[in-house]
Amino acid sequence: MDNLLDLPRAEAEQRLARFMHEAGEPAYRARQVADRLWRNPTASFADMTELPVALRERLGATFSLPRLALDTRQRSSDGTEKFLFRLDDGEGIETVAIPEQNRLTLCISSQAGCALQCAFCATGAMGFARNLRPFEIAGQVREMLLLGIRPTNIVFMGMGEPLMNWQAVDVALSLLNDPGALGIGARHITVSTVGVLPGIQALAARPEQFRLALSIHAPTDALRQQLMPINTKYPLADVIEAAKSFVRRVTFEYVLLGGVNDSPAQAEHLAALARKCGAFVNLIPLHPGGALGFTPSSAKATAAFAGTIRKRGVEVAIRKSRGVDISAACGQLRVERLGRRSPRGAEQDRDVHVA
């Protein structure tokens, strides 16, 4: 059966239009069904009660509307919620909903696991399984809507490296942004990457104003190489050049590791990098659940690090740590429930779709 949720909205509606024509149904039925895929989703064709019963049955026999099975749902005392979804093949992916005043940011996954093995990341420690399909990426938002949760902002900062799954992420971005699908403004959608250069170029080529966040985490190649093995393929200088050529303003994501990357000299280096490409710096406290042997920087060291960057004329913010009382570190809940795999290096990933 054709999976309508793996297609851009316009293509799905075209297939529905052909189906309705062949079935002798009015043309407007295609738009009716298309609106129920994403904009006002239903769990199944059977729930589209505005359609005749016979038509619902024929749709169900021809097309599929696959769901992501909710395995675990946790709620933090600060309102953060974490969801573990089980996929058809038994893999698990995580989604996190973070409320903040009038915003609700949804952190979504693009891969089951991750091949990059960043030293401080629980997802990297679990190993890599596979890329997610478009319906599994955008479907995390669809499942929120079915639960009565309506996100205002989307960040690709969950499990996986989105720009190593560009073919699916490209379609998912369209589904997220299309007013006829999920209808989330492009400026409210951020793609976070370690610096996969072909993917950055592909994202930059799109006309929408999607945001780009770069996972920097170290201001020198020597240290970044230790923390992020992918630095061998995409060195820091090349990542900064890509940021300079990206039309929209970029954000530097920087996880602070006590005694590792939080010294005043490192703050100076990071500020210099940010100044080269006009980047905003987002400092991230290390979540205890994702520590993997590292220690979070102290509040004093964090404030001093931010102050040094600010004095160099670079805009900086310290992200508030959320979900500390639940398994909110990226990949932590998935590891707790489904276990680890043997780590695999990025160069061993045979299922990478860059651009």
Q: What tokens appear for 179 in the block? A: 């007013």
* 3-class SS of residue 246: coil
Rounded to 10 degrees, what is the CA torsion of 49, 39, 83, 68?
60
Q: What is the dihedral of CA 254, 329, 137, 183, to 10 degrees?
A: -70
Which of 25, 94, 136, 143 is the catalytic position?
A: 94
Q: CA dihedral defined by 143, 149, 154, 159, rounded to 10 degrees? A: -50
Evaluate whether 174 touches 211 at the Cβ level (below 8 Å).
no
Sign (positive or negative) of CA dihedral 253, 137, 81, 333: negative
Task: Give me 206's structure tokens.
Answer: 């799109």
Sorted by sequence, the CB contacts under 8 Å of residue 263 that are 6+ apart come out as none
Active site residue 94: yes
- Per DSSP, the three-state class of 82 is strand
Alpha helices (H) in the chain, listed in sequence order: 9-22, 28-35, 53-62, 122-126, 134-146, 166-177, 197-205, 221-227, 236-245, 264-277, 299-311, 332-338
> Residue 320, CB half-sphere, CA atoms under 13 Å: how many?
8
118 is annotated as an active-site residue: no
| Residues catalogued as catalytic | 94, 330
